[in-house]
Chains A and B, each alone.
Chain A
Amino acid sequence: MTEPARDIRDFILARYPHVQLDDDQDIFEIGFINSLFATELVMYVESTFSVLIPNEELTLDNFRSVRAAADLVQRLTDPREAVS
């Protein structure tokens, strides 16, 4: 597991400690995590990983799972991704 994935997972579990969570699970399909929690996740990701998420990446799909959010962090922090 990458470090961003671990941090993101910990953030979700800190709020919802009773959730059984794997990295590919759709957190919005669990039922009680609503889209508004995604707004907190956006702020968490930006402040924790010192990234600014551009408008075109601001979609719920990028925060739907631990892996999706971690992949986003990877894209925004890896200069090779930025070029490609």
Chain B
Amino acid sequence: MPAVDRGDGAFATSGEPDAGNQHMSTVGVVGAGVMGTGVAEAVARVSRSVVLVDVSADALERARAAIHRNCRMGRLLGTDAADPQEVLDRIETTGSLEALADCDFVVENIIEDFALKAPVYAELDRICPSGTIFIANTSAIPITRLASLTTRPDRVIGVHFMNPVPQKPAVELIPGFHTSPETLAATTALLAVMGKQAIQVRDASGFVSNRVLMLMINEAAFLLHEGTATAATVDEVFRSCFGHPMGPLETADLIGLDTILLSLEVLLEHYADPKFRPSPVLRELVNAGCTGRKAGRGFHHYSDVSSSSTPRPLELT
């Protein structure tokens, strides 16, 4: 086995990020899409300071509105007593990555496109102290490949958060080839503070969850394409026959069809296996802007973008 470079010791000398109570870690969050917003909310809810960065001021504004709304709904349903304004007050929003210079952890949530992620890792590596841990929130891109973009591959680790982040109790935790035990321990501690169980798996494109889930969603889309069943029927089989809380096409709408398509393309590129070839109907819906629940339409229609009601089925002719 090749020797693993543990770096220059800066991790120890600059102070190990400690997710516990002795040191109130500041967590940077890059990307204010659905996942980044969820991560920012989940961290802020446990009294940690968050710096949320996105190039789009609109996205940051939407993130603040969504976090405020989610916290209020938590109070309404009696599932969370956090004060919505206090949670928001812990989140600084900015368009500049430079604001991450004092963060102990940075969670990267950029869209699943390696070409878009790559320059950001180089920038983060320049801006952040050597002790800062980079957490890649990716659903399919290998962590070791992302870590290779930095001078600190021992302090890069993958965490595959599930959507909606504040409500989901577990994550996939993925050490890369060079990830140090200290990075693994510090990240596990941060996740524990956030109330997340970390399920560790080895680094491989798609990890466990998406290696299986993307194929299932894609095959369900092929069924729709072939006219074997409507979207509503496909989902009904999974809910009623298997007892799943949601069918695969509803799940795809929740994740976002653009993300599903990108994930399948990453899997196809990485494994060069045609079983990951995206369904034509999936590609067509994404091209049409029907990217799922967030767009009001995907495999199903949604009368209210923020609605969680049962979707109406999309009937393909």
Chain B associates with chain A: yes
Smallest beta-carbon distance A66→chain B, Å = 17
B75 engages A36 (CB within 8 Å): no
Within B81-120, the residues touching A (CB, 8 Å) are 83-84
**A77 contacts partner chain B, Cβ-Cβ < 8 Å:** no
* Chain B residues whose C-beta falls within 8 Å of the C-beta of A35 in the assembled complex: 76-77
Q: Does B304 contact A (CB under 8 A)?
A: yes
Number of chain B interface residues as a range:
10 to 19
Evaluate contact between B76 and A58: CB separation under 8 angstroms.
yes
B304 contacts A40, CB within 8 Å?
Answer: yes
Q: Is A55 a contact of B75 with CB atoms below 8 Å?
A: yes
In the complex, whether B2 has a CB less than 8 A from a CB of chain A is no
Contact assessment for A55 and B83 in the assembled complex, using a CB-CB cutoff below 8 Å: yes
**B42-50, B202-210, B279-287, B305-313: which lies at the A interface?**
B305-313
Which residue of the partner chain B has the closest CB to A46? B72
* In the bound complex, CA of A7 to CA of B118 (Å): 51
Is B307 in contact with A40, judged by CB distance below 8 angstroms?
Answer: yes
Between A and B, how many residue pairs show CB distances below 8 Å?
38
The minimal Cβ–Cβ distance linking B8 to chain A, given in whole angstroms, is: 49
State how many angstroms separate the Cβ of A7 from the closest Cβ of chain B: 16
Contact of A58 among B72, B304, B306, B309 (CB under 8 A): B72
Residues of B close to A39: CB separation below 8 A: 73, 76-77, 306, 308
Residue in chain B with minimal CB distance to A15: B309
Q: Is B78 in the interface zone, CB < 8 Å from A?
A: yes
Known: A15-B309, A36-B308, A60-B78. A55 touches B73 (CB 8 A): no
Q: Is A12 an interface residue (CB 8 A)?
A: no
Alpha-carbon separation in the docked complex, A39 to B164 (Å): 16
Residues of A within 8 A of B83 (CB): 55
Main secondary structure on A side of the interface with B: helix
A35 vs B69: C-alpha distance when bound (angstroms): 15
Contact A42 B76 (CB under 8 A): yes
List the A side residues contacting B72 at CB < 8 Å: 42, 53, 55, 58
When distances are taken between beta carbons in the complex, the residues of chain A under 8 Å from B77 are 35-36, 38-39, 60
Which A residues touch B75, using CB under 8 A? 55, 58
* 20 additional A-B residue pairs with CB within 8 Å, beyond A36-B308, A58-B72: A35-B76, A35-B77, A36-B77, A37-B309, A38-B76, A39-B73, A39-B306, A40-B304, A40-B306, A40-B308, A40-B309, A42-B76, A43-B69, A43-B306, A55-B75, A55-B84, A58-B75, A59-B76, A60-B76, A60-B77
User: What are 21 pairs between A and B in contact, CB < 8 Å?
Assistant: A15-B309, A38-B76, A38-B77, A39-B76, A39-B306, A40-B304, A40-B306, A40-B307, A40-B308, A42-B72, A42-B73, A42-B76, A55-B72, A55-B75, A55-B84, A59-B76, A59-B78, A60-B76, A60-B77, A60-B78, A63-B76
